[in-house]
Structure 1
Amino acid sequence: ADVVVPVPDSGVAAAIGYAQESGMEFCFGLIRNHYVGRTFIEPKSSIRHLRVKVKLNPVRDLLAGRRVVLVDDSIVRGTTCREIVHMVRAAGATQVHMRISCPPIISPCYYGIDTPHREELIAAGHTVEEIRRFIGADSLGYLSHQSLLRACGDPDDTRYCTSCFTGKYPTEVDEDYEPRATTARSPMKC
């Protein structure tokens, strides 16, 4: 690849580290409109789709004709990531390699993060290869659970909740609890 591009703002820190470790150039090839909030928490896919288009603008001069490593913090449903990969390709990138700075999210969070139900989480029911095809990237890589724990200085997984990555909760949870109404389900049909 030629250049490392963060998905702003969530992917900036990881992209800087990825660029430093790989020796690749780093650039802000996507510019974020800060007046648009988080897209993954929107319950309707049509609203998420529109918000991604309004939220991010590709810088064609930095992307055209280049092999891009796109770095983000997570993939929840996969729809936002797919829009971003398509946007970077439409700006002229010859390849788009997606790197995610956390393990695949396979379980919902019952402790305060508004993540969807398990069946809405793309990694809960699909392989990395299936997700790669769905988002349209040339390659897809996640940070492993063990690497995340080492990076946090907790190799024994005792200080942080990692339930969304492991499905193992530190307390009993009611998986039928619905903090919000939703009708959305995983958009992926494999």
Structure 2
Amino acid sequence: MKLSPMTDIIKGKRVIVVDDSIVRGTTSKRIVRMLKQAGASEVHMRVSSPPTTDPCFYGVDTPNKDKLIAANMSQDDICKFIEADSLAYLDEASLLRSVKTDTDNYCTACFTGKYIV
């Protein structure tokens, strides 16, 4: 039900979809297609993290690098693959600034490939 578009609201509108990440791109592609089939005139994807380019070995179940879309395609190619009108990611510095605390000890290996250990 959470992915059921409200056609009366969407039809003829430009829609912005905000997601936490794009890992393989298959879910994003399905959502973009669904919104366009519901009548959206444009669908723009915004991602609240940097591109996931490397697997996580510290507890988040991300696939091997060869399965990560951002490790294998440019941002423009990902945008075309998911059939969006535009695609933008939050950069690493902005992400870290948004969660700034006294113990700024965040792992960003899935975005940078730089592992702590």
TM range (shorter): over 0.9
One-letter amino acid of the structure 1 residue matched with residue 26 of structure 2:
T
Deviations 1:57-107 (A, max 9, x none): 111111111011111110000011000000000000000010000000000
Q: State percent identity of aligned pairs.
A: 53
Q: Distance in 1 between matches of 2:21 and 2:8?
A: 26
- Report the TM-score, using the length of structure 2 for normalisation: 0.95
Q: Quick one: which amino acid aligns to residue 41 of structure 2?
A: T
Gaps in structure 1 of 5+ consecutive residues: 1-30, 33-55, 172-190
Question: Does 2:113 correspond to 1:167?
Answer: yes
Alignment partner of 1:129 is 2:65: no
* Cross-structure match for 1:83: 30
TM value normalised by structure 1: 0.59
- Aligned pairs for 1:35-184 (under 5 A) are 56-153=3-100, 158-171=104-117
Larger RCO, structure (CA 8 Å, separation 6 or more) = 2
Larger radius of gyration: 1
Alpha-carbon distance in structure 1 between the residues aligned to 2:104 and 2:13: 42
Instruction: Return the alpha-carbon distance in structure 2 between the equivalents of residues 150 and 114 of structure 1.
Output: 25
Counting matched residue pairs gives: 116
Alignment of 1:22-33 (within 5 A): 31-32=1-2
Q: Distance in 1 between matches of 2:57 and 2:9?
A: 40
Stretches (4+) displaced over 2 A = none
